[in-house]
Amino acid sequence: NVEPRSVPVFPWHSLVPFLDSSQPG
């Protein structure tokens, strides 16, 4: 028997950088 393997699911926000815009440069 082959056990079903779960496919990983990634959240959308893991694909784009978190850049803090709260402090003007």
Q: Which residues bind other proteins (CB under 8 A)?
A: 7-25
> Of 1 and 19, which CB lies nearer to other proteins in the complex structure?
19
d(CA 23, CA 25): 6
CA distances from 7 to 4, 10, 18, 19 (A): 9, 10, 25, 29
**Minimum CB separation from other proteins for residue 18, in Å?**
4
> Of 2 and 8, which CB lies nearer to other proteins in the complex structure?
8
> Of 1 and 6, which CB lies nearer to other proteins in the complex structure?
6
Instruction: Please identify which residue in the block is written with the tokens 């815009």.
Output: 21
